[in-house]
Amino acid sequence: MTNRVELLIAERFLFAETHEFGTVGAYERLVGRAHFAVDPFAPAQRGITDLDKAPTEGDGLVHFTGDFSILKPVDPARGNRRLFFDYGNRGNKRMLQFFNDAPASNDPRTLAHAGNGFLMRRGYTVGWLAWQGDLLPGNGRVLLDLPVARERDRPLTGPVRVEYIANRAGVTTLPLSGRASVRSHPTVSLDPREARLTRRRYPYDERIPVPPESWCFARIEGGTGLDNQGAVQAVIPSDSHIHIPGGFEPSWIYELVYTGRDPLVLGLGHAAVRDFVSFLRYGEKDSAGRVNPLCERGGTIERAYAWGRSQTGRCLRDLVYRGFNADAAGRKVFDGILPHVAGAGRMWLNHRFANADVSGGQQYEDHFNPADTFPFSYAETTDHLTGRRDAILKRPETDPLVIHTQTSTEYWQRRGSLAHTDTRGNDLAQPDRVRIYMWASSQHFADPLLRKLERGVCQNYLNTVTTSMLFRAMIDALDRWATAGVAPPESRIPRCADGTLVAADEWRRQFPEIPGVATPRAPSALPLLDFGPEAECGILKEPPDIAPGGDYSILVPAVDEDGNDKAGVRAPMVAAPLGTYCGWNLRARGFGQGAMHEFSGSYIPLPETPEERRATGDPRQSILERYPHAEAYVEAIARAAQRLVADRLMLEEDVERAVAAAADWGRPRHDVRLE
Angle in degrees, CA 367, 369, 370, rounded to 5: 135
Whether residues 98 and 143 fall in one domain: yes
Cα–Cα distance between 86 and 90 in angstroms, integer?
12
| Residues 370 and 540 sit within 8 Å (Cβ to Cβ) | yes
| Residues 270 and 49 sit within 8 Å (Cβ to Cβ) | no
425 located within any domain = no
401 located within any domain = no
Burial of 675 (C-beta count, 10 Å sphere; 0-12/13-18/19+)? exposed
376 located within any domain = no
Nearest to 469 by CA among 308, 306, 640, 588: 640
Amino acid symbol at 203? P
326 located within any domain = yes
Residue 33 to residues 8, 93, 136, 142, 159, Cα–Cα distance (Å) = 5, 16, 16, 10, 33
The pLDDT of residue 248 is 97
| Residues 108 and 71 sit within 8 Å (Cβ to Cβ) | yes
With residue 557 as reference, give the H or E element that holds it.
strand 556-557
Q: Which residues of the chain have pLDDT under 70?
A: 1, 223-230
The pLDDT of residue 291 is 96
CA dihedral 120, 15, 448, 360 (to 10 degrees): -90
- The three state secondary structure string of 472-540 is HHHHHHHHHHHHHCCCCCCCECCCCCCCCEECHHHHHHHCCCCCCCCCCCCCCCEEEEECCCCHHHCCC
In three-state secondary structure terms, 51 is helix
| Residues 586 and 597 sit within 8 Å (Cβ to Cβ) | yes
Q: What is the DSSP letter of 96?
A: H
Tell me the torsion sign for CA atoms 334, 340, 345, 350.
negative
Last residue of a domain, one of 261, 281, 303: 261
The dihedrals phi and psi of 672, each to the nearest 5 degrees, come to -110, 125
With residue 88 as reference, give the H or E element that holds it.
none
Whether residues 16 and 142 fall in one domain: yes
399 CA to centre of own chain: 21
Nearest to 167 by CA among 583, 453, 590: 590
Which residues constitute the domain of residue 88? 4-147+266-357
Whether residues 15 and 141 fall in one domain: yes
237 located within any domain = yes
- The three state secondary structure string of 246-257 is CCCCCCCEEEEE
Cα–Cα distance between 344 and 360 in angstroms, integer?
10
The dihedrals phi and psi of 68, each to the nearest 5 degrees, come to -135, 160
| Residues 637 and 572 sit within 8 Å (Cβ to Cβ) | yes
672 located within any domain = no
Alpha helices in 214-332 (DSSP H): 268-282, 311-321
Enumerate the β-bridge partners of residue 187.
Answer: 260
Nearest to 409 by CA among 437, 376, 439, 443: 443
The pLDDT of residue 621 is 98
Contacts for 616 with CB less than 8 Å, ≥ 6 apart: 515, 607
Last residue of a domain, one of 303, 338, 357: 357
Cα–Cα distance between 479 and 303 in angstroms, integer?
8
| Residues 603 and 463 sit within 8 Å (Cβ to Cβ) | yes
Whether residues 141 and 243 fall in one domain: no
Last residue of a domain, one of 237, 261, 285: 261
Whether residues 192 and 67 fall in one domain: no
The dihedrals phi and psi of 6, each to the nearest 5 degrees, come to -130, 135
The pLDDT of residue 138 is 96
| Residues 544 and 523 sit within 8 Å (Cβ to Cβ) | no
Whether residues 287 and 246 fall in one domain: no
Whether residues 169 and 315 fall in one domain: no
Alpha helices in 266-308 (DSSP H): 268-282
The pLDDT of residue 228 is 62
Q: What is the DSSP letter of 290?
A: P
Nearest to 261 by CA among 191, 187, 195, 336: 187
The pLDDT of residue 222 is 81
Cα–Cα distance between 10 and 30 in angstroms, integer?
8
Residue 140 to residues 67, 137, 145, 179, 187, Cα–Cα distance (Å) = 11, 7, 15, 16, 28
Whether residues 142 and 23 fall in one domain: yes
- Structural domains of the chain, count: 2
Whether residues 182 and 75 fall in one domain: no
Burial of 204 (C-beta count, 10 Å sphere; 0-12/13-18/19+)? exposed
Whether residues 245 and 285 fall in one domain: no
Whether residues 53 and 201 fall in one domain: no
The pLDDT of residue 579 is 98
- The three state secondary structure string of 414-477 is CCHHHHCECCCCCECCCCCCEEEEEECCCCCCCCCCCCCCCCCCECCEECCCCCHHHHHHHHHH
288 located within any domain = yes
Enumerate the β-bridge partners of residue 291.
Answer: 285
Whether residues 256 and 317 fall in one domain: no
The pLDDT of residue 399 is 98
| Residues 53 and 149 sit within 8 Å (Cβ to Cβ) | yes
Q: What is the DSSP letter of 565?
A: B
619 located within any domain = no
Angle in degrees, CA 298, 303, 305, rounded to 5: 130
Amino acid symbol at 440? A
Cα–Cα distance between 497 and 427 in angstroms, integer?
7
